[in-house]
Structure 1
Amino acid sequence: MTTENPFDALGGGGFDMNALLQQAQQMQEQLQSAQERLADTVVDGTVAGGAVTVKVSGVGELVGVEIKAGGFDGSDADDLSDLSDMIVAAYRDAKAQVDALASEALGPLAGGGGLPGMPSSGQLGF
């Protein structure tokens, strides 16, 4: 009884599953390392000349808010509304920077022509 390798039809001596698995493991390790570096990164987002600055981790988590003294007294509802808007705008500024960092760090690993079927960075939630 002869056993035929179904991958012989591909030519070049068949299909090296071990090499493919090794490549997949290396890509997974690189992806995990990049994600850890992003988690340790903190980006500042600022608005109104530094009146409000927020700190956002490389994975998009808000980790700090700084409000410059003297800009807001808190006694006026419009003043507080403006402050709220500035915090949101500063977060969006920082989040855009984080998204760019994630795309740069994970793009080649998460969907840049690696293994078929690997999710792109957008599918990973970054």
Structure 2
Amino acid sequence: MKNLGNMLKQAQQMQTRMQEMQSKLEALTVDGAAGGGMVTVTLSGKGDLKRVSIDPSLLAADEREVLEDLLVAAHADAKQKVEATMAEEMQKATAGMNLPNMPGGFKLPF
């Protein structure tokens, strides 16, 4: 019974930490850049695209393909930063808890 009580206490602590983490991620914004900063995108901590900034020199008709590639690259850069931040926050939220070691890692539905 003592182990069950400890597990319930840990579950409650984790739930509180997860709620705090979700709040942090909602407020977080991350910038990604490509082309030496000629294209930047801003994502929320949940990965939603919030803003795009394009250097005016890329708006010429013959630069269309370059611009499209840079947008994709800037988004990928920002997404990688969001994922790294989420992993870091998850590690903080679960610090000190005895979570099961599951094959493929511990997955949460968000």
In the aligned structure 2, how far is the partner of 1:23 from the partner of 1:114? Answer: 8
**Residue in structure 2 matched with residue 42 of structure 1 by the alignment:** 29
Larger relative contact order, structure 1 or 2 (CA cutoff 8 Å, min sep 6): 2
- Matching residue within 103, 115, 118 for 2:99: 115
| Count of matched residue positions in the alignment of Structure 1 and Structure 2 | 108
Please report the RMSD computed on the Cα atoms of aligned residues, expressed in angstroms: 2.5
Contact 2:18 / 2:93 at 8 angstroms: preserved in 1?
A: yes
Letter paired with 1:97: K
User: Is it true that 1:27 corresponds to 2:14 in the alignment?
Assistant: yes
In the aligned structure 2, how far is the partner of 1:84 from the partner of 1:125? Answer: 31
Larger Cα-atom Rg: 1
Map 1:1-126; keep pairs closer than 5 Å: 15-73=2-60, 75-76=61-62, 79-109=63-93, 114-116=98-100, 120=106, 123-124=107-108
Taking structure 1 as reference, are residues 92 and 111 closer, same or farther at Cα in structure 2, changes over 3 Å only?
farther
Letter paired with 1:31: M
Contact 2:10 / 2:97 at 8 angstroms: preserved in 1?
A: no
Give the TM-score, by structure 1 length: 0.72
Q: Structure 2 regions of 5+ residues with no counterpart?
A: none
Q: Structure 1 regions of 5+ residues with no counterpart?
A: 1-13
Taking structure 1 as reference, are residues 105 and 56 closer, same or farther at Cα in structure 2, changes over 3 Å only?
same
Give the TM-score, by structure 2 length: 0.81
Q: Write out the 4+ residue segments of structure 1 that deviate beyond 6 Å after TM superposition.
A: none
In the aligned structure 2, how far is the partner of 1:63 from the partner of 1:109? Answer: 26
